[in-house]
Chain A
Amino acid sequence: KAGVTQTPRYLIKTRGQQVTLSCSPISGHRSVSWYQQTPGQGLQFLFEYFSETQRNKGNFPGRFSGRQFSNSRSEMNVSTLELGDSALYLCASMGRMLAEVGGELFFGEGSRLTVL
């Protein structure tokens, strides 16, 4: 069974540009969530989607947005990039509809964004 696939794996952008990251969840998984990982702030929750609906959002500015398609694939977009947006962006999928406490997340390898 294929795991969570994230593209691109690495990218370099300059300040002010925008970026779109893609995530394909495990087949059959309908919940997709995104996390940002930085050395200073650690792992922080961005948002979660289920059946094309955003169910939960973390404390990030409006420059961070996402969406989910009918095939459960998800994209996140960051507009007007800042140096502080340099991070590893991790996508995770979950096989359960509800966030039951036992529902583990399956993560991809991440997209490493560098903003110059």
Chain B
Amino acid sequence: AQKITQTQPGMFVQEKEAVTLDCTYDTSDQSYGLFWYKQPSSGEMIFLIYQGSYDEQNATEGRYSLNFQKARKSANLVISASQLGDSAMYFCAMREGYDYKLSFGAGTTVTVRA
């Protein structure tokens, strides 16, 4: 079974608008972490935001916020005030317990239009 599911292959968003990227996860671990990474065309994976399973508040980092709904096992990324430079592929990922690897979703391509 897929550990991370991103159902939106691609999205278009108007500059300065907000966009929500969906992510659902599957784990039986009580302790886990959820990450969002951005991958521009250069290939580098850029860390955006992290949410721990025991964190009671939703994580925020600048224009990025994570809408964490534990009971629904979802960890949606919200990008506010989109900029042209936000055009990239976005990956949701999870680390379970003390496992060293990240499990990634298939990614969502975001294209910001002027």
Contact = CB atoms under 8 A, between A and B. Distances in A.
A48 B104 CA distance: 16
SS of A interface (majority): strand
Given A31-B100, A99-B95, A100-B98, A110 B50 contact: no
B28 interface: no
List of 10 A-B pairs having minimum Cβ-Cβ separation, nearest first: A101-B33, A107-B45, A45-B101, A43-B104, A110-B43, A109-B44, A99-B100, A48-B100, A56-B100, A104-B47
Interface in A92-116: 92, 98-110, 112
A58 B47 contact: no
A42 B93 CA distance: 12
Interface residues on A, range: 20 to 34
Interface of B: 31-33, 35, 37, 42-47, 50, 52-53, 91, 93, 95, 97-107
Nearest to A56: B100
B31 A101 contact: yes
A92 B44 CA distance: 10
Interface of A: 31, 33, 35, 42-43, 45, 48, 55-56, 58, 88, 90, 92, 98-110, 112
